[in-house]
């Protein structure tokens, strides 16, 4: 397969993969399912910040995406399709910009449905890092695929169901029996707001912090900085002094987990640790505007602005059939030991 | 500035060409006179030549008379001037003459002429305004050009700004990091992660003591996974109804009616109702913690 990949470099579309990266398997050896891979690219010339957004999205989709994908002006969608087949790419994320606002299209290859989202607002990863006091980016953060949490989608109608299906399929599944908690380091959250019909898209990094330990001792152990004992009479003062309790520690109560194995020096097995999230990566506010049956073509199944473009094509039926197959596959997938993250918040507030 | 320089250079060239012609005739005369007491005569003629050159070198006619007077005054004193920095005039002379003509006086005349001209230019520069050393005729033109350039730049700047605004549309820089909505979203995500981690812990703890290599344990693993399979079936219906929760956590109240598709229900084509929980019965012989798990899934199905 490595030979195949090297030979397949086309003239104009060159997905350049890092040389020392191992050949990615198409099939997950644990679950036996196909690992979804994606391309993130843009149609048309994009102004500066949107190009950065595209780069951020690529980093988000790592490791199963082409980080250094280069595209030329004259590349059509067909070119990408042709390359996608042999490389096992299953999803396209396409960014484009009109005068009003940027758009994001999520499409499943080769004939899958296309969801068009209008991006109302977005923030780049660098903006978020600048707004934080202590931005975190550990080195191997992007080595493992992220988890995904969808919330607020249940109340919606079929279009939202398709959205959830699509997003669930973009990220690879995790098997709860064999997954290592140390490899779950990122999480993508999609929250649907019924009132405004907007979807919030966030990207966090997960951090575990031992709980029940006073702040000073924890900092001392983690940072290896020799504390200042000038004003203390005895070491016991340092250890037992009741330091101030920060506001976030109260929230930690609900977020404690008991670990099953040693994750790091401080997070040991069968001790309680708190889960702390810190935002990295881009932040987007999306609105679903259109669903098409084919890959950026085909019958328009849902449109925010009424039935503007109802193109009846001969393969439209095939398109809808494909969608049904997708749904059936979804059921089939969940029969195994797979687990996908879902959260239901609809009845919480009642 | 460049325009002016070009003009000056062109002018110089023109002058040079003219002088060459003039020189040739004079050279002939000089050669003829070489044998005699040529120094004085040569110097006189050369002096005139130098004066002429100096005159042409200076652009203003005002300076001419001054120059001539200066020359006459300083001629005697200017026997040998340090001609170090005077390569240009020397070169010019050589170029024009075509032959190297000896004569200290010539050289110093040239030196003096150059000196005077240079001084005038420097003097003028002090009095000048921001436009720089410009020939008087071109001043207005250059001022106009600069004004035009500035106007152009302004227009371009505005167009750029508009473009920039359109490009940045929708780009929001988060002002302060944690406002209430963000906290709410982080809370949701944290809950999800906690659920997942707890489920993973439970599942993996149960398997902790077991080793997949031993056949007995492998059987146990298979059985447990089968339970998870069925419990998953019980909860996970089509996405139409609900999205799934984890198998070990408590299910949502809306899940109680079971799967919508008939064959997925546990009592599909079940003739003997006693056999409803056949998989639970098979597992009753297994150890306690597994029994606990089956209880959970049993409650889910009911």
The residue behind tokens 């079971």 is B258
Report yes or no: B6 and B77 within 8 Å, Cβ to Cβ. no
- Residues B260-279 have pLDDT tens digits of 666 666 666 656 555 655 66
Assess whether pLDDT exceeds 70 at residue B31: no
Quote the pLDDT of residue A299. 74
What burial class does residue B15 get, using C-beta atoms within 10 Å of its C-beta: 0-12 exposed, 13-18 middle, 19+ buried?
Answer: middle
C-alpha distance from B176 to closest chain A C-alpha (Å)? 6
Whether A231 has a pLDDT exceeding 80, the answer reads no
- pLDDT value at residue B281: 55
- Give the residue-averaged pLDDT of A215-234: 72
Measure the CA–CA gap between A120 and A304, rounded to whole angstroms.
14
In this predicted structure, what is the pLDDT of residue B148?
Answer: 92
- DSSP letter for A263, please: -
Query: What residues contact B48, with CB distance under 8 A and at least 6 apart?
Result: none
Where residue B154 falls among pLDDT bands split at 50, 70, 90?
A: very high
Q: CB A122 to CB B170 under 8 A?
A: yes
- Give the residue-averaged pLDDT of B1-26: 52
Q: With beta carbons less than 8 A apart as the criterion, state whether A153 and B243 touch.
A: yes
Are B198 and A189 an interchain contact pair (Cβ–Cβ within 8 Å)?
Answer: no
A88: left (phi over 0), alpha (psi -120 to 50) or beta: left
Check whether A4 has a pLDDT greater than 70.
no
DSSP-assigned letter for residue A183: G
pLDDT bin (cut points 50, 70, 90) of residue B124 is confident
> Which pLDDT belongs to residue B168?
76
Closest CB to A101: pick one of B169, B187, B189: B169
- pLDDT (tens digit, 9 = 90+) per residue, B177-204? 667 888 888 888 888 888 888 887 777 7
A65: β partners: A38
Which residue stretches of A98-255 are H helix? Answer: 125-131, 158-170, 215-223, 235-240, 247-252
- Residue contact A337–B170, C-beta within 8 A: no
What is the per-residue burial (b if ≥16 Cβ within 10 Å, else e) of B269-296?
Answer: eeeeeeeebebbeebeebeeebeebbeb
pLDDT value at position B151? 92
B201-233 confidence digits (pLDDT tens): 777 777 766 555 566 666 666 666 666 666 655
Q: How confident is the model at residue A39 (pLDDT cuts 50, 70, 90)?
A: confident
pTM of the model: 0.54
Is the pLDDT assigned to residue A263 strictly greater than 80?
no
CA distance B91 to chain A (A): 57
Matching CATH number, A37-207+280-303, of 3.30.9.10, 3.40.50.10480, 2.40.110.20, 1.10.15.40: 3.40.50.10480
Distance of CA A96 to CAs A47, A105, A201, A293, Å? 10, 8, 18, 19
Q: Where are the beta strands (DSSP E) in A129-224?
A: 147-151, 174-175, 186-193, 198-210
Q: How much is the pLDDT for B94? A: 46
Beta bridge pairs of residue A188? A148, A203
B81 three-class SS: coil
Question: What's the burial of A185, exposed, middle or buried (CB within 10 Å: 0-12/13-18/19+)?
Answer: buried
Instruction: Confirm if B81 and B50 have CB atoms less than 8 A apart.
Output: no
pLDDT band at B149 (very low <50, low <70, confident <90, very high): very high
- Chain A's closest residue to B247, CA to CA, is A339
| A21 pLDDT higher than 50 | no
Percent of chain B with pLDDT over 70: 32
Q: A192 and chain B: CB distance < 8 Å anywhere?
A: no
Rounded-to-integer distance, Cα A93 and Cα A105, Å? 6
Q: Say whether pLDDT at A273 is over 80.
A: no
What pLDDT was estimated at residue A312?
36
CB-based contact B166 A127, cutoff 8 Å: no
Contact A337 B191 (CB under 8 A): no
Q: Which of B175, B190, B240 to mutate to test the interface with A (most CBs of A within 10 A)?
A: B190
Mean pLDDT computed over every residue of chain B: 63
> Residue B169: its chain A contacts at CB < 8 A?
100-102
Round the average pLDDT of chain A to a whole number and report it.
Answer: 71
Lowest mean pLDDT among A159-168, A207-216, B60-69, B109-118: B60-69
Strand pairing class (A102-108; A114-123): antiparallel
Mutant choice from A45, A341, A348 vs B, greatest count of B C-beta within 10 A: A341
Check the CA dihedral B156-B161-B162-B164 and report its sign. positive
User: What residues are paired with A16 via a beta bridge?
Assistant: A68
Min distance B150 CA to chain A CA atoms (Å): 27
ipTM attached to this prediction: 0.70
Question: B152 CA to chain A: closest CA distance, Å?
Answer: 24
* Cα nearest neighbour of B231 on chain A: A335
Q: Is the CB of B244 less than 8 angstroms away from the CB of A340?
A: yes
Q: What chain B residue is nearest to A260 in terms of C-alpha separation?
A: B201
Confidence of residue B292 (pLDDT cuts 50, 70, 90): very low
Per-residue pLDDT, B139: 73
Task: Return all residues near B198 (Cβ < 8 A) that are at least 6 apart.
Answer: A257, A258, B248, B249
Tell me the C-alpha distance between A146 and A229, whole Å: 42
Cβ contact A133–B177 (<8 Å): yes
- Taking contacts as CB-CB distances below 8 angstroms, the residues of chain B near A200 are 185
Q: How far is B232 from chain A (nearest CA, A)?
A: 7
Quick one: pLDDT at residue B271?
60
pLDDT mean over B72-87:
47
Q: Is residue A347's pLDDT more than 50?
A: no
- Beta partners for A174? A339
pLDDT score for A186: 87
State the average pLDDT over residues B99-112: 69
Q: Which of A 293-312 lie inside 8 A of B, CB atoms? A: none
User: At A325, is the pLDDT very low, low, confident or very high (cuts 50, 70, 90)?
Assistant: very low
Residues of B in contact with A151 (CB under 8 A): 188, 192
| CA within 13 Å, CB half, A174 | 25
Task: List the single residue in A with minimal CA-CA distance to B166.
Answer: A99
């Amino acid at each position: 397969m490595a030979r195949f990949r090297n030979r397949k470099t086309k003239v104009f579309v060159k997905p350049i993969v890092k040389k020392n990266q191992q050949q990615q398997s198409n099939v997950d050896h644990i679950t036996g399912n196909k690992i979804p891979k994606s391309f993130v690219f843009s149609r048309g010339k994009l102004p500066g910040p949107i190009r950065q957004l595209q780069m951020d999205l690529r980093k988000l989709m790592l490791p199963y995406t082409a980080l250094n994908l280069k595209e030329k002006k004259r590349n059509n969608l067909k070119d990408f399709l042709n390359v996608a087949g042999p490389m096992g790419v299953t999803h396209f994320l396409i960014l484009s910009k009109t005068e009003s606002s940027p758009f994001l299209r999520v499409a499943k290859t080769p004939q899958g449905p296309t969801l068009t989202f209008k991006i109302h607002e977005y923030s780049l990863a660098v903006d978020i890092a600048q707004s934080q006091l202590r931005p975190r980016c550990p080195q191997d953060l992007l080595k493992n695929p992220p988890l995904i949490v969808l919330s607020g989608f249940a109340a919606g109608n079929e279009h939202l169901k398709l959205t959830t299906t699509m997003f669930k399929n973009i990220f690879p599944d995790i098997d709860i029996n064999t997954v290592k908690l140390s490899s779950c380091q990122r999480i993508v959250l999609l929250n649907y707001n019924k009132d405004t019909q907007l979807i919030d898209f966030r990207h966090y990094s997960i951090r575990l912090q031992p709980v029940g330990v006073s702040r000073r001792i924890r900092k001392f152990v983690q940072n290896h900085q020799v504390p200042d004992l000038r004003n203390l009479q005895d070491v016991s003062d340092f250890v037992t002094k009741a330091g101030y309790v920060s506001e976030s520690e109260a929230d930690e109560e609900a977020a404690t987990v008991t670990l099953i194995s040693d994750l790091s020096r401080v997070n040991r097995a069968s001790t309680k640790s708190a889960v702390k999230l810190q935002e990295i990566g881009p932040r987007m506010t999306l609105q679903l505007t259109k669903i098409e049956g084919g890959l950026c073509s085909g019958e328009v199944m849902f449109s925010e602005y009424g039935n503007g473009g109802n193109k009846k094509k001969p393969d439209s039926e095939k398109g809808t059939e494909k969608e049904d197959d997708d749904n059936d596959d979804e059921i089939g997938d969940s029969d195994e030991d797979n687990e996908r993250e879902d959260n239901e918040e609809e009845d919480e507030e009642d | 500035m460049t325009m002016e320089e070009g003009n000056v250079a062109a002018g110089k060239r023109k002058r040079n060409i003219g002088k060459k012609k003039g020189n040739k005739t004079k050279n002939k005369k000089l050669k003829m006179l070489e044998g005699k007491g040529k120094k004085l005569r040569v110097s006189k003629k050369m002096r005139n030549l130098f004066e002429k050159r100096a005159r042409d070198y200076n652009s203003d006619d005002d300076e001419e008379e001054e120059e001539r007077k200066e020359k006459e005054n300083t001629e005697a004193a200017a026997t040998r001037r340090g001609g170090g920095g005077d390569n240009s005039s020397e070169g010019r002379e050589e170029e024009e003459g075509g032959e190297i003509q000896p004569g200290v006086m010539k050289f110093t005349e040239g030196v003096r002429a150059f000196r005077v001209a240079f001084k005038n230019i420097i003097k003028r520069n002090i009095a000048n305004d921001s436009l720089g050393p410009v020939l008087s005729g071109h001043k207005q033109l250059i001022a106009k050009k600069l004004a035009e350039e500035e106007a152009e730049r302004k227009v371009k700047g505005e167009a750029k700004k508009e473009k920039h605004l359109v490009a940045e549309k929708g780009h929001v820089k988060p002002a302060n990091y944690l406002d209430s909505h963000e906290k709410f979203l982080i809370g949701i995500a944290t809950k999800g992660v906690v659920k997942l981690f707890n489920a993973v812990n439970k599942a993996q703890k149960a398997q902790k003591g077991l080793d997949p290599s031993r056949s007995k344990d492998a059987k146990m693993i298979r059985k447990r996974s089968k339970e998870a399979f069925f419990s998953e079936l019980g909860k996970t219906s089509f996405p139409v109804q609900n999205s799934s929760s984890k198998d070990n956590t408590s299910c949502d109240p809306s899940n109680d009616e079971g799967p919508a598709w008939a064959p997925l229900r546990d009592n599909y084509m079940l003739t003997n109702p006693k056999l409803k929980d056949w998989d639970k019965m098979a597992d009753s012989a297994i150890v306690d913690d597994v029994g606990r798990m089956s209880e959970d899934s049993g409650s889910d199905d009911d």
